[in-house]
């Protein structure tokens, strides 16, 4: 059985999850669910990045003084948010957990043994917002462009350094064309230029007395490990590195690290270089031929703004995703986030667009199709799925006929490929329109088929033909429930229910076995239809 190990960044707990963090997590969830439909052995991890000054500053701002209590409360809040949004995580890692500390120590020692850690003095700027050392060339008007309101710290302290530059050539090889280590391609160019022209060794520790939080450097109590060096290792410790070798060997390397575009230097340069270094002295991290086992891909998506503005604590415009659930239900939020912007590009979150998509795409297109197909079948065929084979009666000639079977085959292949390539936005676009317009079988074509064939009129003169039309539409709804499940698990369950199927039974099949035309049985009783996406109440929006 293929395994599929997928991660999100581990988030700082200096605030609650916003719509931005939700974007990454929901996208990862959709991909994890897709791979589960293919019956792969999926492992999906998210978590919290706790050894950070940012967290401590946020704690102090609340008037609290015990980091352990603060971190535990916030981690619980993040975990609960993902539960509330039905995110199907297999594990949630906190970097304050003993299992993480054990792995970090092992990793540090391996890198040290390779000879890639040396003592030095860091003199320069540090942005607590990014938790990153900054060169003057990184600044815009003397400020960090990502955190222009934060004062930069000026540091001069003894630190341990990592020989990042030693790995320049190996990294450049990793980004070569044909190797999809960094996706999308535009990000690959960006990172290649950075590594080729700007790479320098990096400080990987801080003076304990100046940061007040962090994992102690093995063998030197006066220093703590730089938070990014420790945080990246979560991808290993979450699956047993340093604590459960069997599990680790089964799941590593990661199949996909999903991240936002602002943290690609860490994920696409520092992280593989760290692994290349540690692998030289840790057999768990290398292939039989001696090369490092590296993650297969880092996919960097774009950023959401809110009504055109950067999401920021100081602007106070962060939206708690849970606040939207009572109005829209979480499937609509998931759909909107993943559909609204091409995956990889930036985009804007707006309530108006969310409402428009809810009404046009979900209520009017998907919801109506299901409702009409079920209501007509119940009315004309005794509350049951009609039998398409009672007659070979010719279907009415319609312009641009919607050919259910071939069209859906093509659609499922295209949608599968889109999910496979992390293009959830494409998958949704295809489902709503059709794989190939001539024989398209997307939702729009299915609705058009009803308009073109007018079963409600045809039923008097040719009920058998109407039976075939409605069977095709109900069977298509079964396919849509499958295709949409990764993004909209609740709606998918409802669709199955409304066409007389049991979700659990249906999903026990494998994607390619289930997506075969004609599996919906004629005669299946259809329950009373209920709106899949009820109209939005103006007051609530």
Interface residues with ligand MSP (CB under 6 A)?
A: 9-12, 20-21, 23-24, 49, 231-232, 234, 259-260, 262-263, 303-304, 311
Nearer to ligand MSP, 17 or 434 (CB): 17
Compute the least distance from the CB of residue 207 to ligand MSP, in Å. 21
- Is the Cβ–Cβ distance between 307 and 348 less than 8 Å? yes
Q: Closer CB to ligand MSP, residue 11 or residue 122?
A: 11
Cα distance between residue 153 and residue 506, in whole Å: 57
- 8 Å CB contact between 311 and 20: yes
| Cα distance between residue 479 and residue 402, in whole Å | 15
Task: Specify the residue, 233 or 284, whose C-beta has the smaller distance to ligand MSP.
Answer: 233
Single out the residue of 236, 168, 221, 153 nearest to residue 198, CA to CA.
Answer: 168
Cβ at position 227, least distance to ligand MSP in Å: 8
Cβ partners under 8 Å of residue 305, min gap 6: 311, 346, 347, 348, 349
Of the candidates 269, 278, 279, which has an alpha carbon nearest to the alpha carbon of residue 172?
269
- The CB-of-218 to ligand MSP minimum distance in angstroms stands at 20
Terminal Cα distance for the chain, rounded:
45
Nearest approach, Cβ of residue 329 and ligand MSP (Å): 22
Which one, 259 or 370, has the nearer CB to ligand MSP?
259
Minimal distance, residue 280 CB to ligand MSP, in Å: 22
45 vs 526, which CB is nearer to ligand MSP?
Answer: 45
Q: Which tokens in the block code for residue 143?
A: 């400020």
User: Nearer to ligand MSP by C-beta: 278 or 363?
Assistant: 278
Nearest distance from C-beta of residue 208 to ligand MSP, angstroms = 20
b/e sequence 176-201, b meaning 16+ C-beta within 10 Å: eeeebbbbbeebbebbbeebeeebee
Q: Whose Cβ is closer to ligand MSP: residue 64's or residue 262's?
A: 262
- In whole angstroms, how close is the CB of 346 to ligand MSP at the nearest point? 8
Could you give the strand order of the β-sheet that contains 216-217, starting from the edge strand earlier in sequence? 205-207, 220-225, 216-217
Minimum distance of ligand MSP from residue 243's CB (angstroms): 19
Whole-angstrom distance, CA of residue 135 vs CA of residue 144:
10
In the complex, minimum distance from the CB of residue 28 to ligand MSP, in angstroms, rounded to a whole number: 9
- The strand order across the sheet containing 309-310 reads 309-310, 304-306, 347-349
Instruction: Using alpha carbons, select from 84, 72, 66, 62 the residue that is nearest to residue 17.
Output: 84
Q: Least distance from C-beta 254 to ligand MSP, angstroms?
A: 11
CB of 234 to ligand MSP, least distance (A): 6
Smallest gap from residue 176 Cβ to ligand MSP (A) = 25
Which residue, 333 or 474, has its beta carbon nearer to ligand MSP?
A: 333
Locus of tokens 């320069």: 124
Nearer to ligand MSP (CB atom), residue 313 or residue 384: 313
Which lies closer to ligand MSP via its Cβ, residue 23 or residue 107?
23
Tokens of 456: 């409600």
Alpha-carbon distance of 479 to 110, in angstroms, equals 50
Complex with ligand MSP: residue 21 or 187, whichever CB lies closer = 21
Measured CA to CA, the distance from residue 387 to residue 379 in angstroms comes to 14
Which residue is nearest to ligand MSP, using beta carbons? Answer: 20
Instruction: Count the residues in the chain.
Output: 541
Closer to ligand MSP by Cβ: residue 161 or 304: 304
Check if the beta carbon of residue 70 is closer than 8 Å to that of residue 64: yes
Secondary-structure percent of the chain, ordered helix, strand, coil, rounded to 5: 50, 15, 35
Task: Show contacts of 248-251: CB within 8 Å, 24+ apart.
Answer: 248/284, 249/284, 250/3, 251/3, 251/5, 251/43
- Between 275 and 474, whose beta carbon lies closer to ligand MSP? 275
Q: How far is CA 125 from CA 118, 262, 311, in A?
A: 20, 18, 24
Give the shortest CB-360-to-ligand MSP separation in angstroms: 24
- Cis geometry, peptide bond prior to residue 253 (ω within 30 degrees of 0): yes
**Least distance CB 147 / ligand MSP (angstroms):** 11
Which is nearer to ligand MSP, 265 or 478 (by Cβ)? Answer: 265
Query: What are the structure tokens assigned to 529, written together?
Result: 């239809």
Q: Where are the beta strands (DSSP E) in 219-318?
A: 220-225, 256-260, 298-301, 304-306, 309-310
Cα 486 to Cα 120: distance, rounded to the nearest angstrom: 49
Tokens of 419: 């999910």
């Amino acid at each position: 059985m293929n395994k599929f190990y997928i991660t999100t960044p581990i988030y700082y707990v200096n605030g609650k999850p916003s719509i931005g963090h939700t974007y990454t997590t929901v996208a990862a969830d959709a991909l994890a669910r897709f791979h589960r439909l293919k019956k792969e052995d999926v492992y999906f991890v998210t978590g919290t990045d706790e050894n950070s000054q940012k967290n401590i500053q946020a704690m102090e701002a609340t008037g609290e003084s015990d980091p352990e209590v603060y971190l535990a409360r916030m981690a619980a809040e993040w975990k609960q948010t993902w539960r509330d949004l039905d995110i199907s995580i297999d594990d949630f890692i906190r970097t304050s957990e003993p299992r993480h500390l054990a792995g970090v120590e092992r990793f540090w020692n391996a890198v040290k043994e390779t000879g890639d850690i040396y003592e030095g003095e860091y003199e320069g700027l540090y942005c607590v917002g990014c938790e990153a050392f900054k060169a003057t060339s990184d600044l815009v008007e003397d400020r960090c462009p990502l955190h222009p309101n934060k004062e930069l710290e000026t540091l001069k302290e003894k630190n341990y350094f990592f020989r990042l530059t030693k790995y320049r050539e190996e990294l450049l090889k990793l980004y070569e064309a044909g190797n999809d280590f960094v996706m999308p391609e535009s990000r690959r160019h960006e990172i290649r230029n950075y590594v080729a022209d700007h790479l320098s060794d990096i400080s990987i520790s801080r003076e304990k007395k100046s940061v007040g939080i962090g994992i102690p450097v093995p063998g030197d109590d006066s220093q703590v490990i730089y938070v990014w060096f420790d945080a990246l290792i979560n991808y290993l410790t979450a699956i047993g590195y340093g604590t459960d070798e069997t599990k680790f060997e089964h799941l590593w390397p990661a199949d996909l690290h999903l991240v936002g575009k602002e943290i690609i230097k860490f994920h696409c340069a520092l992280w593989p270089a760290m692994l290349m270094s540690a692998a030289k002295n840790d057999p768990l991290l290398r292939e039989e031929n001696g090369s490092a086992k590296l993650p297969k891909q880092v996919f960097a998506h774009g950023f959401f703004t809110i009504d055109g503005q950067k999401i920021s604590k100081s602007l106070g415009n962060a939206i708690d995703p849970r606040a939207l659930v009572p109005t829209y239900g979480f499937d609509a939020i998931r759909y909107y986030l993943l559909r609204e912007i091409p995956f990889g590009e930036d985009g804007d979150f707006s309530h108006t667009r969310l409402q428009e998509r809810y009404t046009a795409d979900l209520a009017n297109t998907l919801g109506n199709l299901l409702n009409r197909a079920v209501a007509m079948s119940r009315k004309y065929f005794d509350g049951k799925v009609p039998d398409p084979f009672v007659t070979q009666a010719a279907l009415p000639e319609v312009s641009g006929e919607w050919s259910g079977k071939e069209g859906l085959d093509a659609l499922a292949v295209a949608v599968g490929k889109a999910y496979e390539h992390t293009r959830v936005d494409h998958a949704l676009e295809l489902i709503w329109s059709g794989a190939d317009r001539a024989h398209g079988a997307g939702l729009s074509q299915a609705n058009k088929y009803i308009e073109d064939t007018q079963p409600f009129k045809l039923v008097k003169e040719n009920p058998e033909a109407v039976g075939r039309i409605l069977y095709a539409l109900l069977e298509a709804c079964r396919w849509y429930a499958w295709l949409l499940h990764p993004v909209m698990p609740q709606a998918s369950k409802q669709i199955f229910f409304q066409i007389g199927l049991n979700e659990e039974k249906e999903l026990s099949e494998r994607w390619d076995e289930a997506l075969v035309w004609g599996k919906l049985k004629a005669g299946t009783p259809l329950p009373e239809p209920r709106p899949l996406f009820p109209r939005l109440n103006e007051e609530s929006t």
